[in-house]
Amino acid sequence: MFRTKAPILSRAEVNNGLETNTSGIIAQANTAVDQESTLDWAKRDKRRLLHVVYRVGDLDRTIKFYTECLGMKLLRKRDIPEERYTNAFLGYGPEDSHFVIELTYNYGVEKYDIGTAFGHFGIAVEDVSKTVDLIKAKGGKVTREPGPVKGGSSVIAFIEDPDGYKFELLERGPTPEPLCQVMLRIGDLDRSINFYEKAFGMELLRKRDNPEYKYTIAMMGYGPEDKSAVLELTYNYGVSEYDKGNGYAQIAIGTDDVYKTAEAIRTNGGTITREPGPLPGINTKITACLDPDGWKSVFVDNIDFAKELE
């Protein structure tokens, strides 16, 4: 066996190597500290789901359906003619304490592509069958009749609104948050759970695998399912990408500090699409980001949001 002689390093080269190695260790340590501190911030921050935003082709038609068939209230409406769009906020209680829907109508646009990535919204009702009968009487479309969920005992039904957005009706007792779920499909469940826990400060409330039907769900949120709105992430076996269409827009989440929140998101692998700061005209501070699957969320300053509602 032949051996080569190891090169003799100068003191400067040795020191330089030590410095480089030490710098790398320090950088890794700093990254770990940053992630730990941002995670601590995300958990301490006063966060809740504020509203979910999506686009519809006829605002009056949708408001009529939601109020008459789903029992929601029209909370407020605002027209922005210079930007050529109108918003309507609907829900089961005031915006300062409830998760609500923000509908967007863009002037002249009558139809949107919902895509395959968006799943459904969830509404908790005390009697699914009675609710379905009412929806049918009003001309609503029922896509799944009332009955137990596959592999379980919970009674559910599915309906569609006039634009084709799906709503799951879940039979539950009285709840402070009837608008209770937003279901989105994702390509890697463990990656998404890790992101929403660390970057958004959410808790994994439960996880259920359904091998018979080849999908797994994870419920993520800031409080228990029976009292809070939650994000339902669905992974379908072997499917890593979906078409998002152009109908569903984003979820808005309240935060005490959009600057710290943006730092936490960036530190934990999220993409910031709007740097934190005040919106022109209304001065409400926000920051916007994308999760690993490209789903958009907007964080809104809690104090600024409360002023908007005054």
| 258-267 helix and 11-44 helix, angle to the nearest 10 degrees | 130
Residue 206 CA to residue 252 CA, distance in Å, equals: 22
CA distance 204 to 223: 10
Any known ligand binding at 168? yes
Residue 36 has pLDDT above 70, yes or no: no
Choosing from 13, 19, 95, 168, which is the catalytic residue?
168
| pLDDT per residue as tens digits for the range 209-223 | 999 999 999 999 999
- Supply the DSSP symbol for 166: E
Going edge to edge, which strands form the sheet with 141-148? 141-148, 155-160, 166-171, 118-125, 179-185, 230-236, 215-221, 203-210
Percent of the chain with pLDDT over 90: 79
Predicted confidence (pLDDT) per residue in 132-141, tens digit: 999 999 889 9
102 is in an annotated binding site: yes
The pLDDT mean for the chain works out to 89
Is residue 168 part of the annotated active site? The answer reads yes
Q: Report d(CA 172, CA 156) in Å as an integer.
A: 10
Query: In this predicted model, what pLDDT tens digit does every residue of 113-131 receive, in sequence order?
Result: 999 999 999 999 999 999 9
Tens of pLDDT, residues 134-178: 999 988 999 999 999 877 788 999 999 999 999 999 999 999 999
Domains recognised in the chain with CATH numbers: 43-309 (3.10.180.10)
- Reported confidence tier of residue 60, pLDDT bands at 50, 70, 90: very high
In which band, very low, low, confident or very high, does the pLDDT at 281 lie, cut at 50, 70 and 90? confident
User: Sorting pLDDT into bands at 50, 70 and 90, what band is 10?
Assistant: very low
Q: How far apart are CA 49 and CA 41, in angstroms?
A: 17
Both tokens assigned to 94: 């005031």
- The span from the CA of 209 to the CA of 221, in Å, is 18
Segments of 59-99 assigned E as strands: 73-80, 85-91
b (16+ CB within 10 A) / e for 148-168: eeeeeeebbbbbbbbbebbbb
- Which 3 state secondary structure label does DSSP give 306? helix
pLDDT mean over 93-121: 97
pLDDT band at 16 (very low <50, low <70, confident <90, very high): low
CB-neighbour burial class of residue 289 (10 A; exposed 0-12, middle 13-18, buried 19+): buried
What is residue 11's predicted lDDT score, i.e. its pLDDT?
Answer: 44
Distance in angstroms (rounded) separating the CA atoms of residues 201 and 207: 17
**pLDDT exceeds 70 at position 228:** yes
